[in-house]
Amino acid sequence: MYRFLLSARWIGFAIFVVLLAAICTRLGFWQMDKLEQRFDRNDAITKHFGADPVDLSTALPAGIEVDKSNEWTRVRATGTYDVDHQVTVKFSTRDGAPGVNVVTPLVLDSGAALLVDRGWMETQNNVSHPDVPDPATGEVTIEGWLRKDNGATGGAVRPNDGQVRAISSDGMADFVPYDLIDGYVNLQKQSPAPSAGLAVEPKPELGQGPHFFYALQWWFFALLAVVGYFWFARAEAKERRKPSRIDGFAAERQLVPTMGRGSEATEGRRPGEARRP
């Protein structure tokens, strides 16, 4: 009944189903891995936000990069803003509104500088360079949390007309005349007070996100592919048993007992009856 499963068409279909189910299963586990990373991130944020701010040099000694162990650490630093090398991060939205983040290097007493995301302001959704509030002049003390460089590369992190699409100390390295400390800081407090018109970065969400439900969806697709294969196979077998098929499969089974009774049966005569003239 199911010998048709050995045909080239059905073997190819089976291979496709196996590959599809395997890919969907793998994507489900990938989402669960993302969920575990989200939990680790939430734990790190909760731990760091529950601690008092520390000096930048303590949280990030010279030559150390921002990684999972120290990202989100609350730090403080003192220096002078360098407005000449200030950039804006274009196409940054908040609550559905277009705007930019303003990133200004803070030159420290050591001569190195730290990129500071001073905040966000609403602007027109275009590529033109916006006018943004200047930072405080003179020496300032800031507080904020450490962030890793954005993983983007190329033109996304290299300034063009004073604008970038993502924040990266590596991308800004050739744009400034001093060494940049790895990563950047999301400004939260400043003395003297920061410029009006810039909204500081809100605290990150600590929910689990959609990863668990995405994993369930991928696993459901894998199960659906396997069940669908057997459903189509059963439907094909059922169709092949129909007497009304015209491909000869069902008709051949009905002709077998008739052919054994001789040619008389095919002419509509009873056995022994003489042929009519």
pTM over 0.85: no
Low-confidence stretches of the chain (pLDDT beneath 70): 243-277
pLDDT at 276: 52
pLDDT at 204: 86
How far apart CA 163 and CA 124 sit, in angstroms, is 14
How far apart CA 193 and CA 141 sit, in angstroms, is 9
Beta-strand (E) ranges in the chain? 54-55, 74-81, 87-94, 97-108, 113-122, 139-147, 163-164, 180-191
pLDDT at 104: 96
pLDDT at 245: 56
pLDDT at 6: 85
